[in-house]
Chains A and B, each alone.
Chain A
Amino acid sequence: MKEVLFMTVAVVGVGYTDFRSTTPDVSFKEQMFEAAAKAYQDAGVHPRKDIGSFITGAEDYWEGYSIFDEFVPDQLGATLRPVCTISGDGLQALLTGAMQVKTGLMDVVAVESHSAASDLLSFHGIVSHGLDPVYNRNMNVNPFFVAGLEMRKYLSETKASREQCARVVTKNKLNAMDNPLAAYPAVMSIEEVMKSEMVSNPLTRRDISPLADGAIVMVLASEKKAKELSENPIWLKGMSWISETPWLESRDWSDATYARLSSEKAFKMADITNPQKQLDLVEVDDWFSYKELQHLEAIGVCEKGQAGKLLEQGQFDRDGDTPVNVSGGRLGAGNLLEASSLQSVLECVIQLRGHAGKRQIKGAHTAAAQSWRGVPTATGSMLVLSNEK
């Protein structure tokens, strides 16, 4: 693949709903409209004349609609305009938008992702549908067994402890206390996490991020447009996305290889040679508690087997050397399904703008958002952002 050395695409607007455990009062369309209207206002653009293309990151099965892209134009201001849905997470949609801008096809692109998780009556049934129909589905086990298998292998190889995993939960829920958007802030004890019901040993109920509803929209712009539109554009410096083999029978259960490879590529583009020193904050996927530790090692913030210890020493706290999931992540802000990766990007943008209020990381100018699509996938992305071009 030809190396693209310089990214010249910026986030110039963000809009979002708050994240809630349930939203019986609004439809997903009404949530999307709220987020879109705020993002366009933030960017100073009108979708009917200023935005060239609209991209959503969504999965038909989460929505309960076939051909879901047909159900998005109205509430984004996108009717009679180029629209597409990326069947992936919000970060993959954002990267698609960045490519449309980078190639010169579009000057301004809107990217959306949302979660209507509370509309799902059979969340586990939908996840099970992602298993191989011939070899895996007929075992009739709750699909979180995949996380149990992975957590076991990760803990065994790294000698990380269940207590360290529990500490990820308490840290992220505590971080969420200062994120007004978060659905699940809490001051929770490590003991409470450790003593929660076993789901798929060693994974407990509290190791699993709780589902939430919400919508996020971002406006991307070319360098020229970004400078016209925004006083504080946040530049995309490096990006990549990787899928591993889908086989449960023969994947690497210990390392998050998708995270390692996507971060290597994205960091090369962004000229990040020492992530621990150069990244002022990191948002990594924490669908399950152990995933945060595994992802931090995979992206090179620390050596394999060190994340648990460094967590205990406070290095990943908000006031630590590398603050991790200051937003609260999926565990604290809520599991927004495909939209959680955009939630990670959103936190980076808010921090790099210096707008994070009580949870602001002082002097932050480079941040990374890493995503994973959840069980049973081995797919993830990485995006590096900076407030300096």
Chain B
Amino acid sequence: MSEKMKEVPGIYLRDAELKAEDAITFKWRPNAKYAWSGGIAYSRYLAELKNGRIIGRACRECGRILVPPRMFCDTCFRATDEWVYVKDTGTINTYSVSYLDADANRIKEPILVAVIDLDGASEGIGILHYVDPKVDPKDLHIGMKLKAVWKPEKERIGSVTDIAYFEPLKEG
């Protein structure tokens, strides 16, 4: 603190005290709702996922294939040129094992997430996704080969989660 103030005066309010309305509180539920226009790139990517395919955009100038697709190349600053399908197999670029869910609750079965460089896209470009929860986290490694496990066609809605997860690629 400071020379004069060695500790904060008063008491800290605990969660229970706030909930018991011992303190004056104000509640406000923000009304913030959005429906973003998909536009050209998002729309095609999602439509193709529903079809069970992964599509990217190619820039002829730098030769890169961008996934997810973008209608402009960030490196060259020009419109990208064509749609290119890439494979649903790839290599782990990096991964992590999360022991917290989105609300920061501790979970028993950890969530495996990885950035997977896709075969057919340019180096260092791919998809962020789950790895099969049955995989032992100890077996994960950078450079591991994976393949997409798609949801059944009827369950696909045009979402990144139309791929259930990526599983280790069986050799041969």
Contacts and interface: CB of A to CB of B under 8 A. Distances in A.
Interface in B1-60: 26, 28, 30-42
Contacts of A28: 36-37, 39
A346 B3 CA distance: 56
Contacts of B105: none
A77 B42 CA distance: 19
**What are the 8 tightest A-B residue pairs by CB atom distance, in nearest-first order?**
A125-B31, A27-B39, A77-B77, A121-B33, A64-B34, A74-B74, A122-B33, A122-B31
A121 B72 contact: no
Contacts, number: 88
Interface of A: 23-30, 33, 36-37, 40, 46-48, 61, 64, 73-75, 77, 79, 116, 118-122, 124-126, 128-129, 133-134, 137-138
B26 A27 contact: no
14 contacts: A24-B38, A27-B41, A28-B36, A29-B70, A29-B72, A30-B40, A33-B72, A36-B77, A48-B75, A74-B72, A79-B75, A119-B37, A134-B26, A138-B26
Contact of B39 (A25, A40, A128, A134): A25
Considering residues B40, B70, B72, which has the most beta carbons from chain A within 10 angstroms of its beta carbon?
Answer: B72
Considering residues B31, B33, B77, B79, which has the most beta carbons from chain A within 10 angstroms of its beta carbon?
Answer: B77
Nearest to B27: A138
Contacts of A128: 31
B29 to A, nearest CB: 9
B18 to A, nearest CB: 15
Given A48-B76, A74-B70, A129 B32 contact: yes
Considering residues B28, B35, B37, which has the most beta carbons from chain A within 10 angstroms of its beta carbon?
Answer: B37
Contacts of A122: 31-33
Contact of B33 (A33, A46, A77, A125): A125
Interface in B55-87: 70-72, 74-77, 79
Contacts of A116: 36-37
Given A119-B34, A122-B31, A133-B26, A73 B74 contact: yes
A48 B61 CA distance: 14
A124 B31 CA distance: 8
B32 A119 contact: no
A36 B76 CA distance: 13
Contacts of A48: 75-77
B36 A64 contact: yes
A120 to B, nearest CB: 6
A119 B74 contact: no
A9 B36 CA distance: 36
Contacts of B42: 27
B70 A126 contact: no
B37 A26 contact: yes
Given A74-B70, A134-B26, A138-B28, A30 B41 contact: yes
A133 B29 CA distance: 11
B28 to A, nearest CB: 6
Contacts of A30: 39-41, 71-72
Nearest to A131: B28
A329 to B, nearest CB: 25
Contacts of A27: 36-42
